[in-house]
Amino acid sequence: MAGSTDVAKVYERFISLVREVHWLNRISDLLSWDQQVMMPPKGVSARSEQYAVLSGLAHDRLAGNEMADLLAHLEAHSDELDEDQRVNVREVRRSHDRARKVPRELIQEIVTTEGLSQKHWLEAKQKDDFSIFAPWLEKMVALKRRVADAIGYEKTPYDPLLDEFEPHTTSEEVAGVLEGLKPALVELVRRIESSSIRPRREILERSFPIAKQEEFGAWIVRLMGFDFEAGRIDRSPHPFCSGANGDVRITTRYKEDYIPASLFGLMHETGHGLYDQGLDPKHEGTPRGFTVSLGVHESQSRLWENLVGRSMHFWRFAFPFLQAF
Amino acid sequence: MAGSTDVAKVYERFISLVREVHWLNRISDLLSWDQQVMMPPKGVSARSEQYAVLSGLAHDRLAGNEMADLLAHLEAHSDELDEDQRVNVREVRRSHDRARKVPRELIQEIVTTEGLSQKHWLEAKQKDDFSIFAPWLEKMVALKRRVADAIGYEKTPYDPLLDEFEPHTTSEEVAGVLEGLKPALVELVRRIESSSIRPRREILERSFPIAKQEEFGAWIVRLMGFDFEAGRIDRSPHPFCSGANGDVRITTRYKEDYIPASLFGLMHETGHGLYDQGLDPKHEGTPRGFTVSLGVHESQSRLWENLVGRSMHFWRFAFPFLQAF
C-alpha cells in the first residue's frame, strides 16, 4: 500500500511535467500557425525569440534530471502502473533519451532558424527563385546533421531524424517498401505514357471564383465530419494542419484557375484534422492521447485526399453540388 | 576590473531571465489575442491550460531565488551599471518583490479563470444578460482580493492591484484627481442638459456598409502612422490592442448603423498601437524597452480618439473622404 501511494505520487508529478512539455509544444505550434497565417512580417524576430524560449523550457523538463529520476522510479515499479500509464512511461522514455543527447542550444538554434527561414522560403516561392532559400536550407541540413550526430546512428544520419516522425523505423525499411512498389509504379507510368487515351484536363483549369472555392471547400470539410466548433480553416502559402482535440487549425491556398490546389489541399488537411479532433480528451497532454506517428497521420490525410477525393464515386456525388455553388 | 567583469556576467544572466519572463508574457498576450479573435469555442479549456503553464513558468523566473540573488548582487554593485541597466534592475526589483508575495498557484488560478470566463462574458454580452457573467466576475474579484491580501496594503485592497497598472499610484491620489475634476464636469453636464441646442445625431446612425467601414478605418489608421508591416487589424467583440514593437495587434467591432463604434474604437487602439510600435527595439524584452504604465498608454489612445478623432478639425479634413468611400 505504501509503495502504491508513492508510485501514484511519482506518476502524478511525472504527468504534470509531461503535460507542461505538451502544452509548451502546442503553444509553439500555435505560434507557428500564427506566423504562417496571421503574423505581420516585422514580427519574425520576436517570434523566433519566443520559439527559443518555449523549446528551451520544454527541453529542460523533458531532458532534465528530475525527469530521469521520475522515469527510473516508474520503470522500477511498472507492475504498479496500468496499461495507459505504462504507454506514457515508455513513450516519454523514448523522447527523454533522445532529448538528453541533443544540447538545449542546438534545439534553440533549430527553432529560431526555422522561424527566420520561413520568410525566405516564402519569398523564394513567390519569386520562383530557389537561390533565396538555398542558404537557409543548407543551414537547416547542417543543423539537422548535428542532431543526428548527437543522437548517434549505425548506418545513416537520416535514421535518428526519421525516428522523430516515424518511431522505430529505419531508412532501410522505408527503402524496402518503396523498392517493392517501384516495379509496378514504373510499369504504370509507362502504360499511361504509351496509352492513346488522353484525359481532358480543362475542367480542372476552369476559372472558379475564390470566394466560391472557399464556400464549397468548407461545405466538403463539414460533410467529412470536421467540427467547426473545434477548429477553423484559414489561408496560408502552403496547406497544413496543426493543433489537437478542441482546437484544430487547417489551411489551404487558392488559385482562381485551379480548384484542385485548394480542394485537395483541404481534404488532405481535413484528414489530419479529423484524426486530431478524434484524439481521446481523457488522455490530453500525454503521449497516450497524442499523435502516434506521421505515417499514421498521413494514412488519414491521404485516404481522404486520394481514395475519397480523387475517386469517381465522390465526384458523381459532389459534382452537381460544385456546379450549383 | 575583475569586479566589473563579474557584474557584467551577472547582469547578462539577469537580463536573460528577464527576457524569458518578457517573452512568456508576450506569448500569453498572443494566446489571448488568438482566443478573442480566432480561436474556435472548444479550444477554451486547452487555452486555459496553456495560460497556466506560461504564467507558472514566468512566475518561477521572476519570483525565484536565482532572481533574488541576481538582484541583490546587482544592487550591491549599482555604481558599475549604466542608467538603462539601473532602470531594469529597479523595475524588476518592483515586480520581483510583488511576485514573491503571490503564490504561483494563485496566479495560475487567475489566468485560467480569466481564460474560462471569456466565453461567459461573451455570451452575457450577446444575450444582454449580466447574470451569465456575474458568478465569473465574483470569482475574479475574490481571486484579486486574495492577491491584494498576499501583497498587503495600508488603506484599501485596491491599492496593490492599482499598482500593477499604474506603479506608485494610490486610490487616494486617483480619487483626488477625479474629485478635482468633478465640479467642472457636473457643471458641464448640467449646462448641456439645460441648453436648448440639441445636436443632430442622425449622421452617426446612418447605415454604412461594414466592408466600407473597414476600408475607411484602415485608411485612417494608416494615416495616423500605424505600420501594417508591424501590425494588423482584426475584429473582436470588444476593441483592444496587444503586442509590441514589430507585431502589434489592434481590433475593433462593427455596427452597420453606428460607425463611431468601429472608428473611434480603431483610433483609440491605434493610439495604443503607435506607442507599442514606437518602443525602442534596442531594449526589447526588458522593462527599459516596454510600457511604462496604463496611464501613459491611455494618454496616447485618448489623445487620438478624443482630441483628434472627435475634433472639428479632424472631421473637416476626414468627412469628404468618408463620403467618397
Kindly state whether residues A294 and A238 are assigned to the same domain.
Answer: yes
A46 and A168 share a domain? yes
pLDDT value of position A325:
87
- C-beta atoms of A228 and B26 within 8 A: no
* CA B145 to the chain's CA centroid: 21
In percent, the amount of chain B with pLDDT more than 90 equals: 96
**pLDDT at residue B293, rounded to an integer:** 95
If asked whether residues A161 and A216 sit together in one domain, one would say no
Q: How confident is the model at residue B325 (pLDDT cuts 50, 70, 90)?
A: confident
> How confident is the model at residue B1, as a pLDDT?
45
Mean local confidence (pLDDT), B35-42: 96
Q: Are residues A28 and A80 in the same domain?
A: yes
Mean per-residue pLDDT for A45-52? 96
**Residue B301 sits in which domain range?**
200-324
Q: What's the confidence (pLDDT) of residue A1?
A: 44
Q: What is the pLDDT of residues B241-292, one digit of tens each?
A: 999 999 999 999 999 999 999 999 999 999 999 999 999 999 999 999 999 9
Residues A153 and A16 in one domain: yes
Mean pLDDT on B135-152: 98
- In angstroms, the CA A114 to CA A131 distance is 17
Cβ–Cβ below 8 Å for B42 and A229:
yes
B269: annotated active-site residue? yes
Do B13 and B134 reside in the same domain of the chain? yes
Q: Evaluate whether residue A74 is within a structural domain.
A: yes
Q: From the CA of A197, how many Å to the nearest CA of chain B?
A: 47
Out of A154, A172, A190, a domain closes at A172
**B106 exposed, middle or buried (CB, 10 Å; 0-12, 13-18, 19+)?**
middle
Cβ neighbours of A230 in B, within 8 Å: 40-43
Which of A76-90, A240-254, B198-212, B308-322 has the lowest average pLDDT?
A: B198-212
Same domain for B71 and B163?
Answer: yes
In whole angstroms, how far apart are CA A194 and each of A240, A316, B5, B154? 36, 28, 76, 91
Please identify among residues 248-277 of chain A the ones whose CB lies closer than 8 Å to any CB of chain B.
none
What is the pLDDT at residue B5? 74
- The whole-number average pLDDT for the span B198-226 is 94
**Pick from A253, A262, A188: nearest CA to A219:** A262
Looking at per-residue pLDDT, the higher value among A313 and A1 belongs to: A313
Q: Does B232 touch chain A (CB under 8 A)?
A: yes
What does pLDDT average to over chain B? Answer: 96
Indicate if A20 and A160 belong to the same structural domain: yes
**Residue A80's pLDDT is what?**
97
Out of A116, A151, A172, a domain closes at: A172
Is residue A17 located within the same domain as residue A163? yes
Partner residue facing B40 (CB), from A43, A46, A247: A247
Mutate to test the interface with A, among B16, B22, B30 (most CBs of A within 10 A): B30
pLDDT tens across A200-228, in order?
888 889 999 999 999 999 999 999 999 99
Alpha carbon dihedral B186, B188, B189, B193, in 10-degree steps, equals 140
Average pLDDT over residues A245-259: 96
Region A166-189: mean pLDDT is: 96
Check whether B149 has a pLDDT greater than 90: yes
- Write B88-91 long-range contacts (CB < 8 A, 24+): B88/B14, B88/B15, B88/B18, B88/B286, B88/B287, B88/B288, B89/B14, B91/B287, B91/B288
Do A227 and A142 fall into the same domain? no
pLDDT digits (tens, 9 = 90+) for A296-321: 999 999 999 999 999 999 999 999 99
Residue A199 lies in a domain: no
* Total domain count, chain A: 2
Domain boundary among A172, A196, A231: A172
Residue B180 lies inside a defined structural domain of this protein = no
pLDDT band at A3 (very low <50, low <70, confident <90, very high): low
Query: What does the pLDDT read at residue B3?
Result: 58
Average pLDDT over residues B43-61: 97
- B241-244 and A247-252: which strand pairing? unpaired
Q: How close A177 gets to chain B, by Cα (Å)?
A: 38
